Structure 1
Amino acid sequence: MLIDLGNFTPGLSLTGGLVIGAAAAVLILFNGRIAGISGIFGGLLNWPRDDVNWRLAFLVGLVGAPVIAGLSGKSAQAEIEASWGAILAAGFLVGIGTRYASGCTSGHGVCGLSRGSVRSLVATATFMATGFLTVFVQRHLLGG
């Protein structure tokens, strides 16, 4: 295995993980809500909406943080080698998956596991196994 040391950022990754964990803890402690992005966004689409403010604030922060980092010159560029059709299809499939799994990777992986949820353990294990299998097939069977 080769590690790209130019892009290997364990300190930044650890800091990001700690900030995500702290945000999830603050949200559940002070608001009684789980920081699953699909649930937060989905709640904006449901009627009646009585808890719009915290949902919008969370999503604005989620989108705004990388924008602010980009303006400061500290952003990382990611190149996606896929067509817009493939990206839209993947997003659609992820959306379907989050509905079937009753949540997304952030909800199950960060919040569910920390609460000891067996359902979240199974969901996170499934997400990870699918990711591992996808990388294996892509790299070793399809030669990508």
Structure 2
Amino acid sequence: MDWTASLQGLVGGVLIGLSAVWLMGTMGRIAGISGIVGNLITQRPKGDSAWRVTFVLGLISGPLLLMVLGGGFGNVANAPGAVIGEPAGGVVLMLVAGLLVGLGTGLGSGCTSGHGVCGIARLSTRSIAATVMFLITAIITVYVVRHVIGGGA
């Protein structure tokens, strides 16, 4: 067992939890990435974009800082020094998958960070149901891609 990866996951999970609690405690906002980014794009002139921009910059700068400090990006790349691994199904499939995730977050009124981290912590039955659906969809998708289509190990 790779304890380093487990420790990194634990630390990352704690930091995600702390940031969600901090955002809720200080601003009364839920740390749902799709809502933060979506409202940043669609409601720019409303006046509350500064915290949204700061939150998104934190999401981007955290991994970049870790990489500069020599921590790498974990196990996403197969080659030392690589920023990220090659998409498993190709770039087109990744673009389609990204668009489908965006569509799903719109239909589900949120994403795994909003529902899975913040909603479940608030014991929201709607968020629990949404997170269960996210997981079922992910399991089915992996099964179909790996075993029906045959696109990965």
What is the TM-score of this pair, normalised by structure 2?
0.84
Structure 2 residue corresponding to 1:110, chosen from 117, 130, 148: 117
Unaligned runs of 5+ in 1: none
Number of equivalent positions: 140
1:80-116: CA deviation from partner (whole Å, max 9, x where unpaired): 2232221111111111110000001111000010011
Residue of structure 1 in register with 2:11 after alignment: 15
Find 1:37's aligned residue among 33, 38, 57. 33
Please report the TM-score for the alignment, with normalisation by the length of structure 1: 0.89
CA distance in 1, matches of 2:95, 2:14: 31
Q: Which of residues 89, 92, 98 in structure 2 aligns to 1:85? A: 92
Partner of 1:51: 48
Checking the alignment, whether the CA contact within 8 Å between 1:39 and 1:103 is kept in structure 2 is: yes
Give distance in 1, aligned partners of 2:2 and 2:122.
Answer: 36
The residue number in structure 2 matching 1:130 is 137
1:49-71 per-position Cα deviation (integer Å, ceiling 9, x unaligned):
21111101100000111111111
1:75 maps onto 2:72 in alignment:
yes
Q: Report the CA distance shift for 1:103/1:26 in structure 2 as closer, same or farther (over 3 A).
A: same
2:144 maps to a residue whose letter is V
Identity %: 44
CA distance in 2, matches of 1:119, 1:25: 19
* Separation in 2, partners of 1:120, 1:38: 14
Distance 2:61 2:150 in 1: 37
